[in-house]
Every structure is written in C-alpha cells, then in structure tokens.
C-alpha cells in the first residue's frame, strides 16, 4: 500500500459552497419527515430521487432493506464505501425549528438527517470528479434499533469493499473539528431483563409473603457494586437499570417485579465478569429471600474498533479538510454504542466524529428532544467523506 500523496485532490471551497444549499434542503426535508427503524419509506424516496438527479445508479432493498449506490471511476479499481443511517428516534421534538418533525412521536434526534445529507453532498463531489476507483454510498436502515448494518452485510452489496468509513455529528466538538482515533471508539451495548417472582400478600401481613419490591431493591443496590467494586477502574463499564415495574395497589405486596437495564463494556473479559456477577447476585438474593429470579441478557452492538491503517488514512484526509489544528483525538472510548461495529468486524474501516457545535450554543446531548446541530458542519462532513474516499482509493491502488 502506498501512502496517499499530500497533494491529492481536495474539494475546493467553491465546490463545497456550491453543494451546500442542496445539502441544507435535503437535511431539512429529511428532518421534517423522520421514520423509525425498518420503516424508512419516505426517507428512502428522498435519497433515491437525489441519486437519480445526480445520475448515480443504486440498488434498493425495499422497505427496511437500505440503498447502496455506486460511483464508478475505474470499474476494475479499488472499491471503498461511505455509510449513512436513515432512521430517526421515538420522541416528541421540542426544537421549535421551522422544519421540525411533522410525524408525531418521531424525530431526528441523533443527526442522521445530517449524515444522509453529508454523504449525498460527498456523492455530488465524487460524481463531478470521480476518483480512479469505485465508491459505494451506503444508506442503511435501523441503526438505532435492529442493527440495520447487518441487513446491508447480508445482502452481499459490500462484497469486495476494501474499506468503509462513517461518521457522526456531535456537539462535543466545534464545527471545523474532526475526531479520528484508532482502536476502540464505542462500547459493547447489552440489554438485560430481570424477572423477580415472589409471593403476593396483604400489606398488613408481610410475614405471609415474599415481597418482590424489597427483593428487587436489594438486587438493584447489589448490582451497582459490580462496577464500583469488581471491575478494575481503568476499564470503562456501566450498568444502568432504567425501568422497574411492580405492584398493583398501595396495600398489596407485589408478587412479581420486572427490571430492565443496559450494560456497557469495552473489553470481553469485563463483559463476561459483569454478566456472571448479575446472575450470581440474582441467584444469591433470590435464595436469601425465598424468591425466584430469572436473568435474561439481550446481546447488543459490539464495540466499534477502528483499524489502524484506515484510521491513519482518515486522519490524513481530515487534516486536509480542517488542518492539523482541527484534528481531535479521543482519549477514552464513548460508552455509547453504534452498529457500524458490524461492518468493522468484516471490513477494515474508520468511524469519526464531526464537530457540530456553534460558538455561543449550549451543548444539547444526542437523543434529546431539543437536539439540533449547526448546518455548517455538513460542509466539513461532505468534504471529509469526499477526501477520505479519494485518499483510500489512492492508498490501496499502490
């Protein structure tokens, strides 16, 4: 593999400014009509209409199947892929934007509208001046729920792809900053369900019952010690119980209780230890209080692990777009999760974060009903995706 030429093509400011109004238009249309995982019908229609306008051929897998488009600069050349997500989130938007969601209970609270617009912007740049290789544009369903990246992988559309690149807008960095880091970027995400079976009774006669609420409370407190007392503090991990369901009346001792939570880890050994700890504590507390406790682990997304070579290609491309001063590194992995991880289990690649916070703005977290981003960030994102595709093709061609 040869190192990308430092003088390789960088999209001009004029080229980026030329496509920017269209990216804004696309982003706002997509934002106004969000759709949930595997329901991205209108979203897919908007993307396909834009690909048709650009003259870029594509394949559509139908509802829930995603779209894979192809820009061909050299049919027998190297193929790389760029990825964007199509789905929104459940939630009621509170941004007050003139293009706020008109679909009740659905909104783009994670920037996926911007991701689609940026990749379409990069598509326009690549189409106008194709690199000596091939670029696949991947618009996948269901990143938030359902692991839609696996749908794309199962389709075989990425067969022969040398590397894949993706990114995410974030208010943790300012517009003009790009975070590029090799190694672990996000955590393994696992869900769990704990069902407590006690024995119901009258609130005035607790000695006749096994109180599922009390047993659950003891278990909740015990589980919190797994991270604080059984995991090396240098290994990031989190256990959160976010839902508790129990009881039917104030004077009735609950017979059953259901706990639901999430577990985040970055190392397989830590994950195994925490799962074993939850199961051990559930059995011990159940035995101690005469309750039956069942633990169900629902495996989630694996960690996103950027490959070293592709992270370096992405770093060089980012430096060409924002300069060395705009490069940011992540010292510790995010405890969030991302289904881009499934691509990286099969294809080398790199996942970056694109600054989207405007000076003077308050940081609003992803998934918040008030989430928004500075649309100027889409200029940076489109230029980066264009550049990283060109640099990757040049690197692998050697």
What are the residue numbers of the active site?
Answer: 87, 143
Helix (DSSP H) and strand (DSSP E) numbers for the chain: 9, 18
In whole angstroms, give the CA distance from residue 386 to residue 13. Answer: 13
Please report, for residues 18, 110, 129, 379, the alpha-carbon distance to residue 22 in angstroms, rounded to integers and kept in the order given.
8, 21, 18, 11
In whole angstroms, give the CA distance from residue 304 to residue 348. Answer: 11
Classified as helix, coil or strand, 185 is coil
Length of the chain: 398
14: region left, alpha or beta (phi > 0 left; psi from -120 to 50 alpha):
alpha
Tokens of 105: 């209970």
Tokens of 378: 């889409």
In whole angstroms, give the CA distance from residue 187 to residue 97. Answer: 32
Contacts of 366 (CB under 8 A, 6+ apart): 109, 110, 111, 170, 171, 336
In whole angstroms, give the CA distance from residue 376 to residue 172. Answer: 15
Return the closest-CA partner of residue 44 out of 104, 120, 110, 100. Answer: 120
Distance of CA 30 to the CA centre of its chain: 18
Q: What is the largest CA-CA distance in the chain?
A: 81
Return the closest-CA partner of residue 384 out of 138, 119, 127. Answer: 119
In whole angstroms, give the CA distance from residue 158 to residue 363. Answer: 36
């Amino acid at each position: 593999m040869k190192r990308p030429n430092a003088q390789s093509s960088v999209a001009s400011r004029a080229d980026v400014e030329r496509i920017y109004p269209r990216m804004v238009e696309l982003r706002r249309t997509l934002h106004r009509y969000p759709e949930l995982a595997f329901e991205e019908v209108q979203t897919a229609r908007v993307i396909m209409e834009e690909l048709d306008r650009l003259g870029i051929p594509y394949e559509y897998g139908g509802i829930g199947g995603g779209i894979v488009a192809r820009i061909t600069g050299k049919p027998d050349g190297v193929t790389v892929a760029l990825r964007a997500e199509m789905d929104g989130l459940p939630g009621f938007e509170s941004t007050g934007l003139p293009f706020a969601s008109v679909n009740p209970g659905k909104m783009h609270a994670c920037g996926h509208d911007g991701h689609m617009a940026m990749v379409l912007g990069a598509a326009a740049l690549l189409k106008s001046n194709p690199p000596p290789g091939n670029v696949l544009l991947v618009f996948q369903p269901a990143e938030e729920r359902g692991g839609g990246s696996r749908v794309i992988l199962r389709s075989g559309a990425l067969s022969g792809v040398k590397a894949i690149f993706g990114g995410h807008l974030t208010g943790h960095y300012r517009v003009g900053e790009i975070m590029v880091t090799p190694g672990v970027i996000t955590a393994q995400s696992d869900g769990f369900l704990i069902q407590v079976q006690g024995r119901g009774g009258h609130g005035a006669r607790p000695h006749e019952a096994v109180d599922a609420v009390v047993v659950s409370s003891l278990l909740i407190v015990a589980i919190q010690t797994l991270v604080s007392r059984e995991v090396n503090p240098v290994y990031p991990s989190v256990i959160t119980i976010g839902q508790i369901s129990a009881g039917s009346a104030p004077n009735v001792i609950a017979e059953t209780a259901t706990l639901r939570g999430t577990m985040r880890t970055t190392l397989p050994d830590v994950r195994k230890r925490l799962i074993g700890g939850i199961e051990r504590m559930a059995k011990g507390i159940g035995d101690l209080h005469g309750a039956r406790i069942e633990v169900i682990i629902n495996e989630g997304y694996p960690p996103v692990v950027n490959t070293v070579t592709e992270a370096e290609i992405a770093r060089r491309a980012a430096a060409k777009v924002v300069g060395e001063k705009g490069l940011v590194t992540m010292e510790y992995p995010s405890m969030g999760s991302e289904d881009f991880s499934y691509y990286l289990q099969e294809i080398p690649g790199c996942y970056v974060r694109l600054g989207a916070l405007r000076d003077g703005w308050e940081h609003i977290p992803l998934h918040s009903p008030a989430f928004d981003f500075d649309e100027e960030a889409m200029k940076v994102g489109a230029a980066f995706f264009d550049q990283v595709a060109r640099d990757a093709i040049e690197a692998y061609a050697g």
